[in-house]
Chains A and B, each alone.
Chain A
């Protein structure tokens, strides 16, 4: 019932349409099911009310239309099977709408329309009545909410440690598009070395050690999601990067085949394509106009 309401909701008129891309871009799932005669005027129907409730409950991700620091959040929401609403932020005007009226330094003085970014930065995720910023706090909240953070303090601590190490490696990928072209090739070599010498051996050893399908506690956790994200992103640049790590190869296949993750890896999901020139230009135009 919930799924149907969600699909129906996306063909109803949006009360406050976000500026920018046409609705068709974010209502592509409307093709899945198309009950007729729902775009009515007058008092909101039960379905319209339900749709509105669902849309306001969905986490909203504020970020440019690209991977960047938000991609890990998309991964973990997808793995947890959570539908998110993505107001696209590829125009400076939209970004201002989120960050508040100019000047940026007075953002804390603004009441209603601005004032959404605690440290004037994105990612920002509206979720459960909060406007969360800072990637790690967002990841932790979603992980804990959806049982992806272990069953006790010790498991949680292991997951934390593994995630932190992996994020150090992922950081190299996130920053890579912004390096000077001459430095980019050298950095790919650096990433490969770090992955092969410092990080992959750790996780290979863990998987070999307990022989389980997941890194911690024999169940899917944030650590698995972030590691898979990082492995796949590295493979885009260095296709044979896992060649010396048989356990990680098997692990990558297994985790990728988890239904929620499998769906995220298919075309048409909320997973973003690799960063390109347009992404770099967009980021500069939004954040350093």
Chain B
């Protein structure tokens, strides 16, 4: 074991935040290597450590993992957050992909030109209320268990709760008519590892803002 995982990204939520959530929920301590300038990114590229010249990149267990989903799946598998068999994994994957689709709209929004952000917000609110929240509320209702799959915590639960927090930041009260989602959010938030992550001073990032957008523009243009 090569010490703590190292997260290579810029100083914002972006695509790395879900990975921070998963690691934190799994109780894994990690380090952040923040890029601040274009040169920082170019150096990583020149060093040949970014397989497709992109971040996120996570150094973990002797590997330099890229591609957000591949990173999720490795962490989930390693820390028993991926179900007990192939069918549970299929369900967890399916739920995760839906979550990621909605979260994609949210995480990319701050980096859009300001005049496009309003329309995107409306789209996020609509999709959450009419497509995704009902789907997950129904899943929880169908089996009445505490977690989405197999009566056990999985990456789908953690990423869903992150999503709920993200949507509520943009639209307070968004979960009001989804009691089971609210219960899941409370339950997951009270897990000791997640509770710690939700407290001030943790490695959780504040919402991406105009400053983040400017920084990202400089680094990635």
Residues of chain B contacted by A132 (CB below 8 angstroms): 90, 94
Residues of chain A contacted by B89 (CB below 8 angstroms): 140-141, 144
Q: Is B143 positioned at the interface, with any CB of A under 8 Å from its CB?
A: no
A108 touching B135 in the complex, CB below 8 Å, given contacts A130-B90, A133-B94, A153-B77? yes
Interface size class of B (residues with CB under 8 A): 20 to 34
Structural contact, B93 and A137, CB atoms closer than 8 A = yes
Q: Is A82 positioned at the interface, with any CB of B under 8 Å from its CB?
A: no
A 132-143 to B, binary, CB cutoff 8 A, 1 in contact else 0? 111111001100
Structural contact, A161 and B51, CB atoms closer than 8 A = yes
Structural contact, A160 and B86, CB atoms closer than 8 A = no
Closest to A118 in B: B135
Structural contact, A136 and B67, CB atoms closer than 8 A = no
B146, chain A: closest CB distance, angstroms? 20
A164 touching B67 in the complex, CB below 8 Å, given contacts A137-B93, A137-B94, A140-B90? yes
A106, chain B: closest CB distance, angstroms? 10
Name the interface residues of B118-171: CB closer than 8 Å to any CB of A: 130-132, 134-135, 138
Complex CA gap A64/B134 in Å reads 26
Structural contact, A160 and B94, CB atoms closer than 8 A = no
Interface size class of A (residues with CB under 8 A): 20 to 34
Residue of B52, B68, B73, B135 with most partner-chain A CB within 10 A: B52
Closest to A144 in B: B86
Structural contact, B67 and A160, CB atoms closer than 8 A = yes
Structural contact, B101 and A119, CB atoms closer than 8 A = yes
Complex CA gap A128/B70 in Å reads 25
Residues of chain B contacted by A108 (CB below 8 angstroms): 134-135, 138
Structural contact, A141 and B52, CB atoms closer than 8 A = no
Complex CA gap A198/B52 in Å reads 6
Closest to B134 in A: A108
Residues of chain B contacted by A130 (CB below 8 angstroms): 87, 90-91
Complex CA gap A133/B131 in Å reads 14
A119 touching B132 in the complex, CB below 8 Å, given contacts A130-B87, A161-B51, A165-B52? yes
Q: Is B53 positioned at the interface, with any CB of A under 8 Å from its CB?
A: yes
Q: Is B81 positioned at the interface, with any CB of A under 8 Å from its CB?
A: no
B193, chain A: closest CB distance, angstroms? 22
A141 touching B70 in the complex, CB below 8 Å, given contacts A119-B101, A202-B52? no
A157 touching B63 in the complex, CB below 8 Å, given contacts A108-B135, A108-B138? yes
B-binding residues in A (CB < 8 A): 105, 108, 118-120, 128, 130, 132-137, 140-141, 144-145, 153-154, 156-157, 160-161, 164-165, 168, 198-199, 202
A-binding residues in B (CB < 8 A): 51-53, 63, 65-70, 73-74, 77-78, 86-87, 89-91, 93-94, 96-98, 101, 130-132, 134-135, 138
